[in-house]
Structure 1
């Protein structure tokens, strides 16, 4: 009975002490700790609160659609392991804020776009809804994102070294709590009319997380510093995509079209013997010319033999 009374008393004491812990702070709308590097908004050619590191264009270069390979391994890991949504939503914000391209919808919202047209065709919409044909804008370009590498460091390479050195156990504890999150992304820009790749750019980002736990500086320090280890992987991925998109913008600002003698898609400049392309015909012509230039050696006769 004494043990039961002690247990109930302990539960009551814990409940009393934790009442304050159960209270919540007011909701912080627009809190900076919840933001990624893709900040602010965009409306038309105007942007508000955009990341100052985002590259921008004075002149819009054309319309663009985004496509993600949802069957790729990186997309499966992104949506299942990391519980993150499509990367296209973040990229659409960055693209519109940069004013380099006008984004046209070809993703999930396209179902609603076509659904409204289907309702109009069945007579369900009001008159003068203006959903007739010939109004949709074509996409001049396609941007294709992919994640080439994303990893969380298990942490503390320094801890393994410091733990073997006398007197450096505290250093080992700190080193073991330092972890890194890093990601590498890739963007390719395709011309929709020709299918030619116009630009490609890699981007990367890395963040160090520092978590100091109670064994080193006590419980209060552990509670406050441990929050730094909660940084979502998604924030690092967004930063990597910002980097790769900036590289795409730099590339298109300095764009110069690749040219092939004879034109693109006509066979190329590398010919083969017996081929039908201009480069292949040139190979055969040069071969015939070389054959005619080399005169055959006349056979030996008694008159030209050395006496």
Structure 2
């Protein structure tokens, strides 16, 4: 039987062409997947409900941002908090100072009647968030600057970071910490890293297209090093939101009750109705710790010696 080689050659050529096409398509598909991952990683996370109220504090130590014509990193963090709707943001900066000045006018009687501006209206912050750089490198020839030492993170990877901000290589390693304002417990600490290469694939294009200007963080959108720092903080903030998903819905109720101080002499009773007599006498100035149990005007409390009993709430006030 004779084989027609003229028919076989096109078939072989076609197979080879298909193989080459698959090899060329694989990097293109990988590139597309990488691009998609980069874009997804640089989106501000959103929450269905607020995790509580939060204030954003200035980083401790030296001012590293003004030398790069950047605003404080708190401006970036406030943009993330506002757009994510994961926290209710309370102002403890310039807005707070302006508010206090307005309240000064109210207390001096200079405001119109019915202004509804007075005591007991300021919303408490459940948490405070502090942004900073991870590390400071003394051997960088002035190219790396930072605030916190990497060893404070408690992570070998973080401790090995060369510098918090490398201006030459355009890299940034940052950290975010969240502290409970009532208990002083540090409820979360997250790190973020970004480099100039992360600005490729169009990653972060949507992030920098708007919003930073209105938040006073224009430099972070308009400069390369600013974009790198912003992406590093976004990574840390995204991890932060994931960590804090288990926070109590009511941070105030979940914390220990505020202490009270006796303002009039009284007695610590064994039962709310007075039956069983008294545990001890209570003098003016003694501090008590409510357990949360109440029966009309009677509150269950512990004293500083560990005694538990009931006391009339008209005899004490909140400790200051």
TM-score by length of 2: 0.45
TM-score by length of 1: 0.47
Higher strand share: 2
